[in-house]
Chain A
C-alpha cells in the first residue's frame, strides 16, 4: 500500500512518519514510533485504553486515521510528565492506588489530565462524566476518581 508522509508533533517533538492510508493513529504510535504506553484494548472506540490528546482534545486513537493527523499536536501518556516531574494526576493515581493491572491507566490519565486542564476544580459528577469513555476491568473506579479529586486539590491553591 502506498505510504503517506505526515508531519506531527508528538509530546513536543516534531516527527515525520510514513504511514499507509489505513493505519490508525493508535497503530502508528505503537508500531511506527514505539510509544507503547498507548494501549490497544478493543480497537473499536469502546474502552478508552488508546486515549491520546489530539490538538488538546482527548480522542480514541484507534478511531482516528494517522493520515488525518498531518500537522496535528499529539500528547500520549509518555508526554504527561515534564522532565523529572510527574503530572499531578500521575502523582495521585500513584499515591492513591489508582493503578491495578495498569492497562487502562494511560487512557485514564489522558482523559483526567484533559479534564483538569479545561476545568481545574471539577466535581465528582464532572470527573465521572470525563471518564465515562475509559473502562477499567479491574473495576478500580473509586480510587481512580479519588485520585483525580486529589490531583485537582493539589494543583488548585499553590499552582
Chain B
C-alpha cells in the first residue's frame, strides 16, 4: 500500500488480505493455551461431584486424600464460606450442608498428575 502523501491511499475494501496469524498457524508455531509448557510445576485439578440429586452432607473426610503422595491441596465448602453468583449471589463454590443436583461440586483436589488427582478424589469420604 502507498504511504500517505501526494498519492491517494489504496482502499483495503475488496482486497484479499491473509489473516495476520495464518503464517504461524500453518507452520505450527502458533501457541494455543494447551501448548504452553509448564514443565514439572504444572498441577492437575479434579472436582468431586455429587452422585445424588439432593442429599445432606454430614461429614467430609479428606484425611486419606491429603495423605496420598503427590497431592498438593484438597479443598471443600469449609474453605469457602462466602456466596458467589453472577446476578444472585446465592451459591457456594463447593457445597457445604447439602447438595442440590447430580454433579454439584463437593470437593476439589490439586495434584502433580491427573491420575493422582483422580485417585485422591476416590479417597475423599463423604457421608
Q: B-contacting residues of A (Cβ < 8 Å)?
A: 30, 34-40, 76-78, 80-81, 86, 90, 93-95, 97, 99-100, 102-103, 105-106, 109
Please report whether the interface of chain A is mostly helix, strand, loop or mixed according to DSSP.
loop
B26 close to A (CB within 8 Å)? yes
Distance from A140 Cβ to chain B, minimum over Cβ atoms (Å): 11
Starting from the known contacts A35-B28, A105-B25, 10 additional A-B residue pairs (CB-CB under 8 Å) come to A30-B35, A34-B37, A36-B32, A36-B34, A86-B27, A93-B26, A94-B23, A95-B18, A102-B21, A109-B26
Cβ-defined contact, B28 with A99, below 8 A: no
- Measured between alpha carbons, how far is A15 from B37 in the docked complex, in Å? 19
Please report whether the interface of chain B is mostly helix, strand, loop or mixed according to DSSP.
loop
| With contact pairs A94-B18, A97-B18 given, residues A40 and B26 touching in the complex (Cβ less than 8 Å) | no
B31 close to A (CB within 8 Å)? yes
- Measured between alpha carbons, how far is A34 from B23 in the docked complex, in Å? 19
Q: A-contacting residues of B (Cβ < 8 Å)?
A: 16, 18-19, 21-32, 34-35, 37
Q: Which residue of chain A is the closest to B26 with respect to CB atoms?
A: A90
| With contact pairs A34-B37, A95-B18 given, residues A103 and B32 touching in the complex (Cβ less than 8 Å) | yes
Cβ-defined contact, B34 with A81, below 8 A: no
Which B residues touch A30, using CB under 8 A? 35
- Measured between alpha carbons, how far is A30 from B32 in the docked complex, in Å? 12
Cβ-defined contact, A90 with B19, below 8 A: no
Distance from A137 Cβ to chain B, minimum over Cβ atoms (Å): 13
- Measured between alpha carbons, how far is A103 from B32 in the docked complex, in Å? 8
Q: Which residue of chain B is the closest to A102 with respect to CB atoms?
A: B25
Which B residues touch A103, using CB under 8 A? 32
Cβ-defined contact, A39 with B26, below 8 A: no
Cβ-defined contact, A36 with B19, below 8 A: no
- Measured between alpha carbons, how far is A77 from B16 in the docked complex, in Å? 25
Show 23 A/B contacts (Cβ-Cβ < 8 Å), sorted by A: A34-B37, A35-B28, A36-B28, A36-B32, A37-B27, A37-B29, A40-B34, A77-B26, A77-B27, A80-B27, A90-B27, A94-B22, A94-B23, A97-B16, A99-B19, A99-B21, A99-B22, A102-B21, A102-B22, A102-B25, A103-B32, A105-B25, A109-B26
Cβ-defined contact, A105 with B31, below 8 A: no
Interface centre among A36, A40, A76, A105 (most CB of B within 10 A): A36
Cβ-defined contact, A37 with B37, below 8 A: no
Cβ-defined contact, B28 with A38, below 8 A: yes
Distance from B36 Cβ to chain A, minimum over Cβ atoms (Å): 8
